[in-house]
Structure 1
Amino acid sequence: MNLNQLYYFRELAEQRQYTKAADSLFISQPTLSVSIKQLETELHCKLFKHSGRYVQLTKYGRIFYNTVINSLNVLDNGKKEIKQKVSQDQGNINIAAIPTAIGTLLPYLTKEFQQESTVAPHFIYHDNPSYQICEGIKNGWYDIGICSFVPEYSSFTYVPLYTEEIIAIVSKDNDLAQLTEISPEELHGETVITYSQKIQIGKDVTNALLANASDLNIINRLHDELAITGQVLTNNVVGIVANTIYLSGFDIHKIKVTLPPNTRQVYLVYDSQQQFSPEIIDFIDFLKKNKNKIQKIVDQFLNVKK
């Protein structure tokens, strides 16, 4: 019995189909079949039974599955801890951030920290949406993140860092371009386009709008301000977005939307159960200490007046 056989067994048990399991494992179906047969021969029992195109665990397979899952989880966690420790011992801090922070705020913060700190860690940046950031923290790929609150990872520690203003954007020949402020109720009858609800900001913005005007015609298709602005200018619709640096290259009219100021809250996120190097702990403390300064920096990038 070897590790590959255990990983193959787990994948087949979860996919329930040889073809899908083999594709996920990047091996051929015959290779998977031989591996499972060898495992069954060694254990002197059938682990799977066929049910049409699918397979399912036998009673022996279910017992073995629980053992394999527990064993592989322990092994995977051990590998993750070693990988993190090696990276930290090399002076690395893996930090993931949402796209609007990765190229503006994050370089500024890391430079400030390195100037203040007696140590000089090497920051490795990762650009991802919020859910993928939290998933990466769980899997040990990232040490900390800057992103939205993700309900699926509510056990993580979330420290509010800054808010992004939610605004309406329209083309300058749109009738609404005469306004400087608008309420969700006043968007009734308009076609409103905002972020996909597959990402956290899309859920947050849509919920905030519908809480004030439940009959709005909202289209949730796109993932960032660039794509939404393109639709606004092409189709003369109303976009509801965070006021980010991505909007600076477009000739659009911005309108303040009367939504709660924390509709778009961005957090410092980390798993407090993880073992951190002194450098990571110092950087977390640095971010916590400078929360007010961080908000001012974000506003300065966008020339936001508060």
Structure 2
Amino acid sequence: MNLNQLYYFKELAEQRQYTKAADNLYISQPTLSISIKQLEKELHCTLFRHSGRYVELTKYGRIFYNTVVSSLNILDNGKKKLKQTISQDQGNIHIAGIPTTIGTLLPTLVKSYQQVVDISPHFIYHDNPSYQICEGIKNGWYDLGICSYVPQYKDFTYIPFYTEDIVAIVTPENELAQLDEITPEELRGENLITYSQKIQIGKDVTNALLSIASDLNITNRLHDELAIAGQVITNNIVGIVADTIYLDGFDIHKIKLDIPQRTRTVYLVYDPERYLSPEILDFVDFLNSQKKNISKYNVKAKAIL
């Protein structure tokens, strides 16, 4: 029995078709078939039975499947931890952030950090939405994240880092452009566009709006301020976005929106169950020390005191 056989068995059990499983494994169907037969011969039992075009696990196959999945998960986690430790020992810090952080704030903070340490780690940046950042931390791809709170990863350590104002944006020709401040109730009857609820900021903004005015007409489909601002200009509708530097290139009017100030809170995130090198912990301490000065690094971000 070898690892390939276990991976082959798992894939066939989940796909239930030799052709599809072989395609996913990038092997030929005969190779897969021979591997399964050899495995069954070694285990002295039948693992699969045919059911038309599909295969199903036998009683023995189901018992073996549970063992294989558990074993491969342990092995994969061990490989991830090993890869992470090797990377850290080589002086690398993988840090993932939401686009506005990666594009503006984080490089400036890293530069400031490098000016106060004798030997700086090598920082590798990754640009992702909040959920993918947390998923990457869990899987060992990233050491640290700067992103929204993600409920699915509530066991992570979330250190409040900064907030961003949520504003309504309209074209200068829109009637609302005469206003400097507005409440969600005053947006009733307007066509609103904001972030997709597939990303955390979309969920947070939508929940904040609907908790105040439940009958708002909100379209959730876009992933960043650039796309939302483009729709606002093209269709003369109202956008609800974080006030980031991405808006500066558009001829729009911003209206202060009366919703809870911390609707858009950005956190420094890591998994407390994972090993963090002294260099990573030192950088975390540095970031914590800079929270009160965050506005000098990025005028759109506000410090959390």
- TM-score (norm: length of structure 1): 0.93
1:165 & 1:301 partners in 2: Cα distance?
8
Return 5+ residue gaps in structure 2 as ranges.
none
C-alpha distance after superposition, 1:208-246 (max 9, x if no partner): 111011111111111111111111111111110111111
2:180 & 2:51 partners in 1: Cα distance?
63
1:33 paired to 2:33: yes
Residue 291 of structure 1 corresponds to which residue in structure 2? 291
Q: Which residue type is aligned with residue 89 of structure 2?
A: D
Q: Secondary structure at the match of 2:261?
A: coil
Residue 214 of structure 1 corresponds to which residue in structure 2? 214
C-alpha distance after superposition, 1:193-212 (max 9, x if no partner): 11111111111111111101
The answer to whether the 8 Å contact 2:96/2:146 transfers is yes
- Farther off after superposition, 62-71 or 10-19: 10-19
Return 5+ residue gaps in structure 1 as ranges.
none
2:19 & 2:233 partners in 1: Cα distance?
45
Q: Secondary structure at the match of 1:12?
A: helix
Q: Secondary structure at the match of 1:116?
A: coil
Residue 233 of structure 2 corresponds to which residue in structure 1? 233
Q: Secondary structure at the match of 2:27?
A: coil
The answer to whether the 8 Å contact 2:164/2:302 transfers is no
1:94 & 1:231 partners in 2: Cα distance?
34
1:55 & 1:263 partners in 2: Cα distance?
50
Residue 155 of structure 1 corresponds to which residue in structure 2? 155
C-alpha distance after superposition, 1:100-127 (max 9, x if no partner): 1001101011111111123211000011
Residue 259 of structure 1 corresponds to which residue in structure 2? 259
User: What is the aligned-residue RMSD (CA, Å)?
Assistant: 1.8
1:101 paired to 2:85: no
Q: Which residue type is aligned with residue 118 of structure 2?
A: T
- Farther off after superposition, 88-97 or 37-46: 37-46
Residues 187 and 40 of structure 1: is their aligned pair in 2 closer, same or farther, counting only changes over 3 Å? same
Q: Which residue type is aligned with residue 281 of structure 1?
A: L
The answer to whether the 8 Å contact 1:245/1:302 transfers is no
2:18 & 2:259 partners in 1: Cα distance?
50
Residue 275 of structure 1 corresponds to which residue in structure 2? 275
Q: Which residue type is aligned with residue 47 of structure 2?
A: L
1:90 & 1:14 partners in 2: Cα distance?
38
Aligned pairs for 1:51-66 within 5 A: 51-66=51-66
Identity of aligned residues (%): 74
Q: CA deviation at 1:53?
A: 4.3
Q: Secondary structure at the match of 1:103?
A: helix
- Farther off after superposition, 218-227 or 33-42: 33-42
Aligned pairs for 1:50-129 within 5 A: 50-129=50-129
Q: CA deviation at 1:63?
A: 1.2
Q: Which residue type is aligned with residue 45 of structure 2?
A: C
The answer to whether the 8 Å contact 1:114/1:120 transfers is yes
Q: CA deviation at 1:10?
A: 1.8
Q: CA deviation at 1:52?
A: 4.5
Residues paired across the two proteins, number: 303
Residue 16 of structure 2 corresponds to which residue in structure 1? 16
Aligned pairs for 1:127-206 within 5 A: 127-206=127-206
The answer to whether the 8 Å contact 1:166/1:263 transfers is yes
1:135 & 1:302 partners in 2: Cα distance?
25
Q: CA deviation at 1:173?
A: 0.6
1:266 & 1:90 partners in 2: Cα distance?
29
Q: Secondary structure at the match of 1:104?
A: helix
- TM-score (norm: length of structure 2): 0.94
